[in-house]
Amino acid sequence: MTEINHRIADHPIHSIFLERWSPRAFTGEEISQEELLALFEAARWAPSASNIQPWRFVYARRGTEHFASLLETLDEGNQRWAKKASALVIVLSKTHRLTSAGEVRPAYTHAFDTGAAWFALALQAQLAGWHAHAMAGVDRDKAVRVLGVPEHHRVEAAVAIGRIADPSTLPDDLRERERPSQRKPIGEFVFEGRFKAD
Ligand SMILES: Cc1cc2nc3c(=O)[nH]c(=O)nc-3n(C[C@H](O)[C@H](O)[C@H](O)COP(=O)(O)O)c2cc1C
């Protein structure tokens, strides 16, 4: 049994799965281009159906002209804390692929594959001393406009990347929630042989 961050793994796993979590308190320091590219490098090596690599990332580093425009695509509730991130990333997926016959067809696994890529980025961030916090709270229409997203692409989520700060830097309501969360037991979502409905 492994316990880290008040999280207990019932089966033996690598500590990084318990160490990774999604804080909101960030220091507001800058991240270098090289450090950020290393996180995308990890995403690059994610697996995908037929190796189509449907993930796309649009990023803005703190201290650059793009940071404010990416920040404004987030819901207000997320802007409150994500404004202290070192980098903001909009995660998109390419929803269609070109067949060898030149036809445009839906790419069934675009979201699944892109989920794998974002998580590779999150684990690499953790290993490099950063934290990555995903956000579904994005104004997708605004993101499409602001980022110039072409058709056949879906805005999946945003990610705030930062160096973790003391929870005391957060407003009261967010500070109360600032802790690693727990999980359902495996028996509630893993089934042998046949699906078990809730
Ligand atoms: C796709 C996705 C969307 C999320 N959206 C938000 C969000 O809009 N705002 C937020 O504060 N956290 C968001 N989260 C963070 C989750 O609440 C968090 O990952 C979850 O509670 C598990 O906690 P942990 O990541 O700390 O282990 C999101 C996470 C994921 C993966």
Q: What residue segments make up the domains of the chain, in order of their start? A: 23-167
CATH architecture of 23-167: 3-Layer(aba) Sandwich (3.40)
Q: How many CB atoms are located within 10 Å of the residue 156 CB?
A: 22
For residue 137, give the ligand 1 atom closest to its CA. Answer: 8
Q: Whose CA is nearest to atom 5 of ligand 1?
A: 135
- Whether 21 lines ligand 1, by a CB cut-off of 6 Å, is yes
Question: 90, 110, 107, 89: which is closest to 98 by C-alpha?
Answer: 107
Q: How high is the pLDDT of residue 9?
A: 97
Residue 83 class from Cβ within 10 Å (0-12 exposed, 13-18 middle, 19+ buried)?
A: middle
Q: From the CA of 113, how far away is ligand 1's center (Å)?
A: 18
- Cβ of residue 22 lying under 6 Å from some atom of ligand 1: yes
The pLDDT score that the predictor gives to residue 28 is 98
**Cβ of 5 below 6 Å from ligand 1:** no
Closest-CA residue, ligand 1 atom 22, reads 181
Instruction: Please give the Cα distance from 60 to 86 (Å, whole number).
Output: 9
* Helix-helix angle 110-127:33-44, to 10 degrees: 140
- Measured in angstroms, how far is the CA atom of residue 181 from the centroid of ligand 1? 10
User: SS3 helix, strand, coil % of the chain, rounded to 5?
Assistant: 35, 25, 40
10-residue block means of pLDDT along the chain (198 residues)?
92 97 98 98 98 98 98 98 98 95 95 98 98 98 98 98 98 97 97 95
